Chains A and B, each alone.
Chain A
C-alpha cells in the first residue's frame, strides 16, 4: 500500500493489451508509453505540459501523459491513438481529418484526435465554440486549427 519506493511493478491495459512492467517512480507516463511499450504514436512537443501532443485517455478521462507518472497509472486502462482504428480502417474522425486537411506534419495529430474523441464521446453534437474549447489544450503549428474545427464538425451529429 503506502510503501515508499523508487520503483514499482505496474500493470496497465493499453488499447486492450495488458502490460506488466517495473518502472522507476520518476518516469513520466509518456516516456513509459513511447520508450517502454514502443507505442510511439503519442508525441512530445514541449516540456511544460502545454502542447497536448501526448494526450491519451486514462480510465475514460482525457489527460496529458507528460503530467502523470507511470506509477500513477498502475491498474489503469489507457487509450492511445494506436487504438482508435481497427484493422487499419480509419475511424470517421480520422477520415474527416484527412478529408478536411486537418493535418500537415501530423505530429500533433494523435493528441488532437484523442481530444476530439473525448469531446465527441461526451458531447456528440458540439458547437464550434465547444469544439474550440475542447481542443484548447492541443497546440498545432501547421494548420492554424481552422481545418481541424471543420473535421470535427463534420463528424459531429
Chain B
C-alpha cells in the first residue's frame, strides 16, 4: 500500500501519450496496473510519471482479418479476449486468459500489460512466442514490428524502450496450440509453464525457467523429439521456495510434452 509520490497523466490519444513518454524518461505507461501498481506498493520501483492508457480506444479492439490473422489491441483485457467471438479464431488465447488469476484481475489486466511486464511467471509471454505473435511498437519517430521471440529482454524489460508504446499484437491464423502449467494451487502463480504451437513448424516456449521465455523448435511434436529439444536448450532455471532448479527443469520438459500433445490433439 502507500505508493511513493508520482505524477499522473491521462492522455486523450496515443500521440499525446507518446509525447508525454518522450518528455520524461521516468515516465511509464499504466495499462491495467495489475502488476505495476503492486510493484509500486512495494516501492520496489517507482516511476516518476504514470501515463494512463485506459480509455484510449486506439489501443482497444480485437479484429479478425480475412486471412485469419488476429489483431489484438494492447489494452484488450483478459476478460475481453476470453469473451470475444473473433478471438476464438485462435482458441488457446481465450483459454489461457481464463486461467490468469481471478475475475477482478481479468477484468482489468491487459494483454499488453502482461507481455510488457514480463514477470517470469506470466502466462502470455511464452504463449505469444509459441503462437508466433508480432508486437507492434510505436514511438514519435514511427512504428516497428518485433516478433515475440525477440520482444522479451528481461524481467520487466522488453523491446519497448523509453518513449515507446506497445499498441497491438498480431497473431497469425492457427488452431493447433497447447498450454500446460503447474501452478501454486488452482489458477495460482505458475511454478512452470509451457506453450506449444504446431501450425506448420513446431514451436514450444518454456516459462518460469529464465528471465525470458525459452523457445525450442523440435523436429516434431512427438514426445521424444520434444524432450530432446528441451534438454538441448540446456536451461538453468532459477530456484525459489516453490521449486529447485532441477525440479523446474524437469517440469519444463514434462509440460512441454503435455503442451505439444494438447496442440497435436487439436485439428
Contacts and interface: CB of A to CB of B under 8 A. Distances in A.
* Complex contact flag A–B (Cβ < 8 Å): yes
Nearest to B186: A136
Determine the interface band of chain B, counting residues with CB < 8 A from chain A: 35 or more
A64 interface: yes
A101 interface: no
Nearest to B185: A136
Given A1-B16, A3-B9, A28-B3, A48 B103 contact: no
B52 A47 contact: no
B145 interface: no
A143 interface: no
Contacts of B16: 1-2
A28 B49 contact: no
Interface string B242-266: 0000000000000000000000000
Contacts of B105: 49, 64, 67, 137
B11 A1 contact: yes
Contacts of B24: 4
Interface string A48-74: 110010010000011110111101101
Interface string A79-93: 000000000000000
A2 B12 contact: yes
B109 to A, nearest CB: 9
Interface residues of A, number: 38
Interface string B67-108: 000000000000000000000000000000000011111011
Contacts of A49: 34, 37-38, 105
Contacts of A119: 103
Given A28-B3, A62-B107, A137-B103, A4 B37 contact: no
B7 to A, nearest CB: 5
Contacts of B8: 4-6, 8, 25, 69, 71
B10 interface: yes
B6 interface: yes
A52 to B, nearest CB: 6
Contact of B3 (A4, A26, A136): A26
A2 B51 CA distance: 9
23 contacts: A1-B16, A2-B10, A2-B12, A3-B9, A4-B8, A6-B7, A6-B8, A8-B8, A25-B6, A26-B3, A31-B1, A47-B1, A47-B41, A48-B41, A55-B104, A62-B103, A66-B1, A67-B34, A68-B37, A68-B108, A69-B50, A71-B10, A74-B10
